[in-house]
Chain A
Amino acid sequence: MAQIKKSADTNVHQLNPTGSAIGDTMVKIAVLVKQVPDTNSKIQISGDRVDLSSVKMVMSPFDEFAVENALLHKEAAGGTVTAITVGGNSADKVLKDAKAIGVDEIVRLDCTEYMDSNAFQKVISEVISQDGYEVVYCGKSSADTGSGSTGPGVAEKLGWASVSNVTDIEFTDGLTVTAPVEGGDAIINVSTPVVVSCDKGSIKVRKPNVKGIMMAKRAQVEVKSVSPNTSSVTIVSQSMPAEKPAGKKFEGGQSAETVVQLLRNEANII
């Protein structure tokens, strides 16, 4: 069925605060978002797999900063922001959450099977390349795997620059980003195309308003089918970490002296 092309960018002119001629500076921005268990939730195992059936699913915390930075970029330079996720129907919620705070388009790459990092990055980078995005934002890592591979991996597959663990961004000609290095921070100039992996910085993530939530409810998720390559890394099992044996517990502040002795004589670490 042919999709009706919405006039998605009718608002873009009002959103450009500089009032410059944005016809030639329209940036096509993508933001990668992922649905993960709420970080306050307890993870349980059933059989040899994690059981997420009774866990609340939310947008991965660092992805929230990626969405915010993508929106700030659009507001500074003019353009469109598309939120992209990978998953089944149930992942639509994370896209609607992004829509509610202001992204223009929402796209789900329809796939529920496991993909290793190489297969996953290939699927993402193909869409980024086919649809002509110039800047990609993502969280520095997702709260489930914690691997942080997607941003740099997708950038490499596209032949783009990447900057990771970014805490601040200035939207200049290109981007000026702040990222931690040994002993401090580096302020780095980078030109597009680029993948920016975001950490929590000084920015505040905007909250949806009623209008945004209503719009998100009605918004259509564009579903794209993908055909991933075979994975060379496969999951064998998932399990709980080994429980630590019970430690020693002391009453009263004076016992700190005993603990220091134990750290030296029993633990041998100081």
Chain B
Amino acid sequence: MTETVIIAEMHKGKVSPTTNELVGAANLLGSNCTLIVPCTDSSVADEASNISGVTKVIAAKSSLFTNYDAAAWAQALDSVAPQGIVVTSASAQSKDLAARIAARRDISVVQDVISIDGNTLSTPIYSGKAIENVSINGDVVVSIRPNVFAGADNDGSCEVQVIDASGDLSTAVKELVERASTRLDVSEANIIISGGRGMGSPDNFSHLEVIADTLGAAVGASRAAVDTWAEIPHSMQVGQTGKTVNPNLYIAVGISGAIQHLAGMRSSKYIVAINKDADAPIFQYADYGIVSTWEEALPVLGNALSNMLS
């Protein structure tokens, strides 16, 4: 059987639950699964040793894992990782890393994989307007789209080996600028509430923010909203020319559903649409559609959510 090597997905210095999904996916690709945990403190790797299906955990310990440096991380992780099919998350940073590790090993990378069937991998193309099925031959690096594969359970146990990793830094972080708001970015969130031009004005996005805070959600926007209002930054844009997202819940408010927006969010697990136009294309993709103005629906939605979650 093929060896698989997983690069753990990290969140705030800890192993992220996405890593369980990577193990789930890796077990479809091969066996003998080594999990590499990039860390500055090797104790964070211990909790990964109970993920079932992992044969061995390697804590790749180095101060260079404090800040992301593509070249140094690829060098360091390549040096500690055995040969095999390498599996990473398809987060923005991990896709970047996946590409560098693949190039370093002189093998190909298949990004954003959403299904695995033997040697055939499926990935969305044209931001999900179509699906491409590719066949792999030999070792490759595969990045796995979060929120798609079933995660492995936490009832295993295996050995943890600590290896000092090193790499040559090629960039220097001059400054870290924290986001002004504590709200998550759309690329990090499990729940997203997005507004479109139907919100009428950028000030009205405050109504979305209230609900986002109740849900611990990120606030997104359609391209039309970003292009129309300077106050809505491109970092909020969901769609083919913004960010492709697939949260558990996507709430689209005042968004008609332009083809390039749909491409960026249609794979969300559940979609709620609020739009006053009953014929808006977004309703074709919504699990739950509410034909209403946002002025009428949002206060009801907000109250119902805070009653439920309080």
Which residue numbers of A lie inside 8 Å of B, CB to CB? 37, 39-43, 45, 50, 61-62, 116-119, 121, 143-157, 160-165, 167, 176, 178, 180-190, 194, 197, 199-201, 231-241, 244, 246-257, 259-264, 267, 269-270
Contact = CB atoms under 8 A, between A and B. Distances in A.
A200 B242 CA distance: 8
Contacts of A150: 99
A147 B173 contact: no
B15 to A, nearest CB: 14
Contact of A270 (B92, B278, B303, B308): B308
30 contacts: A144-B125, A145-B111, A146-B127, A147-B111, A147-B112, A149-B111, A153-B100, A154-B103, A156-B104, A160-B170, A180-B92, A180-B235, A187-B177, A188-B174, A200-B237, A232-B107, A232-B108, A236-B133, A236-B135, A238-B130, A241-B267, A244-B287, A246-B284, A249-B286, A253-B292, A255-B292, A261-B304, A263-B288, A267-B269, A270-B305
Contact of A118 (B11, B102, B242, B248): B102
Contacts of B98: 149
Interface of A is mostly: mixed
A31 B239 CA distance: 24
Interface string B89-109: 000110111111011101111
B150 interface: no
A117 B109 contact: yes
Contact of B99 (A117, A178, A262): A117
Interface stretch (B27-35, B37-45, B136-144, B192-200): B136-144
Chain A CB within 10 Å — which of B70, B242, B260, B278 has the most?
A: B70
A55 to B, nearest CB: 10
Given A148-B95, A153-B102, A184-B178, A241 B286 contact: no
A181 B68 CA distance: 8
Contacts of B126: 37, 43, 50, 143-144, 146
Contacts of A232: 107-108, 136-138, 140
Contacts of A42: 129, 259
B173 A186 contact: yes
B291 A252 contact: yes
A234 B135 contact: yes
A157 B102 CA distance: 10
B309 A256 contact: no
B137 to A, nearest CB: 5
A40 B283 contact: no
B106 A118 contact: yes
Contacts of A200: 234, 237, 241-242
A260 B126 CA distance: 32
B177 A270 contact: no
B291 A249 contact: yes
A248 B291 CA distance: 11
Given A116-B108, A161-B71, A164-B70, A250 B290 contact: yes
A146 B263 CA distance: 11
B99 A156 contact: yes
Interface stretch (B52-60, B151-159, B294-302): B294-302
B134 interface: yes
Contacts of B110: 117, 233
B191 to A, nearest CB: 8
B255 to A, nearest CB: 15
A29 B37 CA distance: 37
B300 A257 contact: yes
B301 A260 contact: yes
Nearest to B179: A184
Contacts of B242: 200
A242 B44 CA distance: 39
B47 interface: no
B124 A146 contact: yes
A39 B223 CA distance: 12
Nearest to A119: B108
Interface string B175-215: 11111000001011001000000000000000000000001
A37 B234 CA distance: 22
